Amino acid sequence: MKVLKLFLIALVLLIVAGGVAVFIVARNMLQPVNPASTEEVRFVIPKGQSIARIGERLTEAGLIKNPWVFRLLVKQQNAENAIQAGSFLLSASMTPAQLIQEMTKGTDDIWVTFLEGWRREEMAESLSELDLPNYDPQEFLDLTVGKEGYLFPDTYLVQRSITAEDIVNLMTSTFEKKVEEDLADQIESSGKPLDEIITMASLVQREAKGAQQMRVVSGVLWNRVDIGMALNVDATLQYIKGYNQAQQSWWVPPLAVDKEINSPFNTYKVAGLPPSPICNPGLDAIKAALDPAETNYLYYIHDTEGQVHFAETLDQHNANVQQYLR
């Protein structure tokens, strides 16, 4: 009995000691990493990032001690859906609870998305719909004259106080990084000037969907360029005509009469590439212009379902027209 009594006492003491240790560790995990820190860190939460990943990144950034404690606190505070995407100024002097509170507040940032294939006017309009007090659409249009094709379409996190000049600089610098720098070897090995590549990419962007289809369309159009054949790209007619007020669109399907429009961009009347890009292409289209599919196709059409049908000869092309469009 004496032995059993001693064992029970020892067990109770062990449990108490363990509880105290857990309490001390947990309390420590809830304290700031560095209470004396005066440095602020800009921490960006992308859209859709999980709480688990946010906790890991906070730990990696030296802002919290343990990602699991962070996750438990978020759950305890019912903040799973309250933490927002955006950028936040955080400090290692803040407790995990304070960090969570900070990340559930509204931010001074906004996510801006520019779709692949937009022309610069569409970008200007899209920005006008946002609450950007220092943005001037006319200034954006003035600053982007001659930059069609080089305004990289992407989703950007920007401050609401951003100006038109800041936005243009951000998009062009992103183009330089993702295209001119990252694709430098492919551009050099293509043997083609960058302006021709981007102009071709802009046509491919408007004429095809998906990386593989883009490569085939690119192959067709480069084949035509090589033999001096007119490109016959409808998107160039849409670019010439511009905004259609009735249909409230920049890309209304052209009419047969539009093929007679006198313009250097009319690829039905003028052989070769148009003088400059007709939109701002994404990476897939640019890569397709750099690496077209090797093909003997010279023709393609889009059917009523948006599918593309290719042909090597005019007879095959006419047969496709009869089968899919009439």
Which domains, ranges and CATH numbers included, belong to the chain? 32-107 (3.30.1490.480), 109-179 (no CATH), 191-295 (no CATH)
Listed residue (63, 134, 122, 126) closest to 98, CA to CA? 63
pLDDT classification of 25: cutoffs 50, 70, 90: very low
Read out DSSP for 19-41?
HHHHHHHHHHHTS-S-TT---EE
Listed residue (129, 91, 90, 86) closest to 106, CA to CA? 86
Q: What is the pLDDT of residues 180-214, one digit of tens each?
A: 999 999 999 999 999 999 999 999 999 999 999 99
Query: How high is the pLDDT of residue 9?
Result: 61
Burial readout 14-37 (b: 16 or more C-beta within 10 A, e: otherwise): eeeeeeeeeeeeeeebbebbeeee
Query: How high is the pLDDT of residue 20?
Result: 45
Higher pLDDT, 249 or 11: 249
pLDDT classification of 2: cutoffs 50, 70, 90: low
In the three-class reduction of DSSP (H, G, I as helix; E, B as strand; rest coil), residue 91 is classed as strand
Q: 5, 60 in Cβ contact below 8 A?
A: no
Q: What is the pLDDT of residues 79-112, one digit of tens each?
A: 888 888 888 888 899 999 888 888 887 677 888 9
* CA–CA distances in Å: residue 225 to residues 43, 84, 232, 237, 273: 48, 49, 11, 18, 7
**pTM, two decimal places:** 0.77
Higher pLDDT, 181 or 2: 181
pLDDT of 22 above 50: no
Query: How high is the pLDDT of residue 38?
Result: 82
34-38, 184-188, 201-205, 274-278: segment of lowest average pLDDT? 34-38
Strand partners of residue 300: 310
Distance of CA 176 to the CA centre of its chain: 15
Other CB atoms within a 10 A radius of the CB of residue 106 amount to 7
* CA–CA distances in Å: residue 231 to residues 77, 223, 226, 266: 61, 9, 11, 9
Q: What is the pLDDT of residues 43-64, one digit of tens each?
A: 888 888 999 999 999 999 998 9
User: If you average pLDDT over residues 154-181, what whole number do you get?
Assistant: 95
User: If you average pLDDT over residues 229-250, what whole number do you get?
Assistant: 96
